[in-house]
């Protein structure tokens, strides 16, 4: 996967922010875009998370090839631990996925963290939302 320097920076930002969402909290695609200074790019945040396995693998490979640093400098570049399930729509709904049971997996993971998810895949953002004004990443 070939990524531009701008897209690499964006993906790094997305994963760095997502990795900081506290256990038992959720935020929206739009809020991540806002925190990155790209409020119009909420769909790109969704795409970054949807394709995180391939993107992270590409970023890790490139970092290993171009840097002497070990990857511990970038702890968020591990798709096995990236808490993607903590990101939902601004309406509080888990986004449906085509040809996948991802929304059910996301519901299970949120419930395991004590976040109630309704039968309609809704989460109470007032109680479980995480919406800081800014963040270091």
- DSSP, collapsed to helix, strand or coil, labels residue 80 as coil
Domain enclosing residue 35, as ranges: 5-91
Q: What is the CA radius of gyration of the chain?
A: 15
Task: Tell me the pTM.
Answer: 0.92
Please tell me the total count of domains within the chain.
Answer: 1
User: Mean pLDDT for each consecutive 10-residue tract of the chain (137 residues)?
Assistant: 89 97 98 97 96 92 74 86 97 86 92 95 97 93
- Tens-digit pLDDT profile for residues 38-56: 999 999 999 999 999 999 9
Asked if residue 85 belongs to a domain, the reply is: yes
At residue 137, the pLDDT reads 85
CB 41 within 8 A of CB 10: yes
53-74 pLDDT, tens per residue?
999 999 988 888 776 566 778 8
Distance CA 57, CA 59 (A): 6
Residue 136 lies in a domain: no
Q: What is the CATH number of the domain that holds 16?
A: 1.10.10.10
Residue 117 lies in a domain: no
Q: Where are any strands of DSSP class E within the chain?
A: 27-28, 87-88
Does residue 96 fall inside a structural domain?
A: no
Angstrom distance (rounded) from CA 110 to CA 83? 10
Q: Is residue 26 part of a domain?
A: yes
């Amino acid at each position: 996967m070939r990524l531009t320097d701008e897209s690499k920076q964006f993906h790094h930002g997305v994963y760095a922010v997502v990795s900081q969402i506290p256990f038992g909290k959720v935020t929206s695609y739009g809020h991540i875009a806002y925190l990155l200074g790209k409020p119009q790019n909420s769909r790109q945040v969704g795409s970054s998370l949807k394709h995180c396995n391939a993107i992270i693998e590409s970023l890790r490979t490139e970092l290993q090839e171009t840097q002497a640093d070990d990857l511990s400098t970038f702890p968020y570049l591990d798709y096995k631990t990236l808490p993607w399930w903590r990101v939902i729509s601004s309406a509080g709904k888990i986004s449906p996925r085509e040809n996948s049971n991802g929304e059910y997996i996301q519901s299970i993971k949120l419930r395991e963290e004590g976040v109630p998810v309704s039968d309609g895949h809704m989460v109470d953002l007032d109680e479980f939302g995480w919406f800081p004004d800014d963040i270091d990443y």
